[in-house]
A and B are shown apart, each in its own frame.
Chain A
Amino acid sequence: MRDWIALIVVAIVLAGLPLVGSNYLLRLATTICMYAVMAQSWNFIGGLAGYPSFATAAFFGLGAYTSAILLNHGAPLPFAWGCAGLAALVFAALLGGAILHLRGHYFAIASLIVAEMLREIVNTLPNFTGGGKGLNLTMLAISVSAQARFFFYAMLGLAVFCTAFAILIHRSKLGFGLRCIQQNEDAANMLGVNTYAYKTAAFSLSAVFVGAAGAIYASWVNYIEPTDVFDVLLAVKPMVMVLLGGLGTIFGPAVGAVILLAFEELVWRSFLTIHAAVLGLIIVVLVLFLPNGILSIVRERLSGRTVVT
Chain B
Amino acid sequence: MLVLEEVSRRFGGLNALDSVSLTVNKGEIVGLIGPNGAGKTTLINLITGVHAATSGHVRFEDRDITGLRPYQIARLGLARTFQIVQPFPKMTVLENVAAGALFCGHASTTREAMLIAREHLTFTGLAGMADQPAASLTLARRKRLELAKGLAMRPRLLMLDEVNAGLNPSEVEEALRIIRKIAEQGVTIIVIEHLMKVVVSISQRLVVLHHGQLIAEGAPRDVMSDKRVIEAYLGAKYAATRSTH
Report which A residues bind B (CB closer than 8 A): 171-173, 176-177, 179-180, 183-184, 186-195, 308
Contact = CB atoms under 8 A, between A and B. Distances in A.
8 contacts: A173-B109, A176-B110, A177-B103, A183-B90, A183-B91, A184-B89, A187-B88, A193-B71
Mostly helix, strand, loop or mixed at chain A's interface? Answer: helix
B105 A192 contact: yes
A186 B74 CA distance: 12
A180 B50 contact: no
Contacts of B149: 191
Given A187-B86, A189-B74, A190-B71, 19 more contacts: A176-B102, A179-B88, A179-B91, A180-B88, A183-B88, A183-B91, A184-B88, A186-B70, A187-B82, A188-B103, A189-B71, A190-B70, A191-B99, A191-B103, A191-B149, A193-B103, A194-B69, A194-B71, A195-B71
A308 B90 CA distance: 8
B33 to A, nearest CB: 23
B153 A192 contact: yes
Given A173-B102, A176-B102, A189 B91 contact: no
Interface string B85-112: 0111111000100111011110001100
Contacts of A176: 95, 98-99, 102, 110
Interface of B: 48, 50, 69-71, 74-75, 80, 82, 86-91, 95, 98-100, 102-105, 109-110, 133, 136, 149, 153
Contacts of A190: 48, 50, 70-71, 74, 80, 86
Contacts of A172: 110
Given A171-B110, A176-B110, A308-B133, A191 B90 contact: no
B153 A191 contact: yes
Contact of A192 (B75, B87, B136): B75
Nearest to A197: B71
Nearest to A177: B103
A179 B99 CA distance: 10
Given A191-B149, A192-B75, A186 B110 contact: no
Contacts of B136: 308
A195 B153 CA distance: 17
B156 to A, nearest CB: 14
B100 A191 contact: yes
B43 to A, nearest CB: 15
Contacts of B86: 184, 186-187, 190
Given A179-B88, A183-B90, A194-B71, A188 B99 contact: yes
Contact of A191 (B50, B104, B109, B110): B104
A180 B152 CA distance: 15
Contacts of A192: 71, 74-75, 100, 103-105, 153
Contact of B89 (A183, A191, A194, A195): A183
Contacts of B105: 192
A226 B133 CA distance: 46
Contacts of B82: 187
A167 to B, nearest CB: 14
A145 to B, nearest CB: 46
A300 to B, nearest CB: 16
B99 A180 contact: yes
A168 B153 CA distance: 25
Contacts of B109: 173
A308 B69 CA distance: 34
A291 to B, nearest CB: 13
Contacts of A188: 88, 99, 103
Nearest to A179: B91
A74 B105 CA distance: 48
Closest 10 CB pairs of A and B: A192-B103, A183-B88, A187-B86, A192-B74, A192-B104, A189-B70, A193-B103, A190-B70, A194-B71, A192-B75
